[in-house]
Amino acid sequence: MRLLGQVCKMDSITVALPKGRLAEKSFEVFASCGISGNIQNEMSRKLFIYDHESNLNFILVKPSDVPTYVEHGAADLGVCGKDVLLELKRDCYEVLDLGFGRCKMVVAGPLNKKDNFLSNKRVATKFPAIAEEFYKKKGENVEIIKLNGSVELAPLVGLSEVIVDIVETGTTLKENGLTVYEEIFSSSARLIVNKASMKTKSERIKEIIYKLKSAKESGMLQI
């Protein structure tokens, strides 16, 4: 019986992390909760890291691809911003608000706001689904312009009147002469789980969830 338990425990688990600061923070958190060994140093240019100590695989992917890997079961777990989850609406369990990676989704525009009487406001954004839903709820008809980066530029060069984007400190906005008009929601990193993995590898996944949860409750995850 014990042997069986151990075999179950050693189910290999794959974790998808978003390249960049969230991944660094996630590695730190996983190591400090005793979920994985300290492997932060290994993440130089590798996209795939195997931690012998814990039998965990880490894959580093584009932030907006994390939910895709998890939904399809290519990764069992993932760490991902709420903003990305709301934009993509993928079918997976969103079990825990990890509390770090805090930022806000806002509507922003030029400091000296000019009234304009165009019937359709133009909104530039990397998050077309979020922007669309936000304006739909407000009952406003807008034209959504999907961009892939440097969204702050759009109002400056007349591509759009406003932008819908993520802000952390607001420095980038300020540097470009923009200001926040409205806040849509605040976001933070979430732990997401594939629906089948949750059931077929439940022992290990539950253990990881509980460890992260108690770390969060004891304030260990605050930045």
Partner 1 sequence: MRNLPDGVQDFLPDELRFKRNIENILRNTFELSGYEEIMPPTFEYLDNFATTSGIFFDENNIYRFFDKKGDLLALRPDVTTQVARIASTKYHEYPLKFSYIANVFRYDNPQVGKMREFTQAGIELIGKNHEYSDAECISVAVEALKNIGIKDFKVDIGQAEFFKSILCELRLTKDEEDILKGLLKEKNQSEIEYFLRHNNITGRNYELIVNLPLFFGDIDVVENAKRVYEFESAMKALNYLERVYDILKDFGMDSYITFDLGMVQSIDYYTGLIFRVFVKDLGYAICAGGRYDNLLKNYGKDLPATGFAISVERSMLAIQSQSGITIKKPKSIAVLFDDKNRKEAYDIAVRLRSQGNIAELVNMDNSEYANRKKFDEIIRAGV
CB of 91 to partner 1, least distance (A): 8
CB of 173 to partner 1, least distance (A): 27
| Binds partner 1 by CB under 8 A, chosen from 36, 125, 160, 194 | 194
Calpha distance 51→113 (Å, rounded): 52
Calpha distance 105→184 (Å, rounded): 5
Torsion over CA: 163, 167, 172, 173 (sign): positive
| Binds partner 1 by CB under 8 A, chosen from 199, 207, 214, 220 | 199
Residue type, 32: S
Verify binding: residue 198, partner 1, rule CB under 8 A.
Answer: yes
Verify binding: residue 136, partner 1, rule CB under 8 A.
Answer: no
Q: What's the gap between Cα 156 and its chain centre?
A: 28
In Å, how far are 15, 69, 93, 143 from 128, measured between CA atoms?
Answer: 27, 21, 23, 10
Verify binding: residue 202, partner 1, rule CB under 8 A.
Answer: yes
Using CB under 8 A, which of the segments 28-36, 92-100, 134-142, 172-180 binds partner 1?
Answer: 92-100
Using CB under 8 A, which of the segments 21-29, 95-103, 128-136, 141-149 binds partner 1?
Answer: 95-103
Strand residues in the chain grouped as ranges (E): 13-18, 48-51, 56-61, 77-81, 93-97, 103-110, 121-125, 142-146, 162-167, 178-187, 189-193
| Binds partner 1 by CB under 8 A, chosen from 94, 132, 133, 143 | 94
Verify binding: residue 126, partner 1, rule CB under 8 A.
Answer: no
Report the site for partner 1 in 23-82 (rule: CB under 8 A).
Answer: 70-74
Verify binding: residue 141, partner 1, rule CB under 8 A.
Answer: no
| Binds partner 1 by CB under 8 A, chosen from 9, 120, 195, 220 | 195
Is the Cβ of residue 90 or residue 122 nearer to partner 1 in the bound state?
Answer: 90
Pairing of strands 162-167, 189-193: unpaired
Verify binding: residue 204, partner 1, rule CB under 8 A.
Answer: no
Q: Record the tokens describing residue 180, joined without a space.
A: 């926040």
CB of 67 to partner 1, least distance (A): 12
Verify binding: residue 129, partner 1, rule CB under 8 A.
Answer: no
Q: Record the tokens describing residue 15, joined without a space.
A: 């974790």
Q: What is the DSSP string of 90-154?
A: -SSEEEEE---S-EEEEEEEESSPPP---SSEEEEES-HHHHHHHHHHHT--EEEEE-SS-TTHH
Verify binding: residue 178, partner 1, rule CB under 8 A.
Answer: no
Residues that bind partner 1 (CB under 8 A): 70-74, 91-97, 190, 193-203, 206, 209, 213
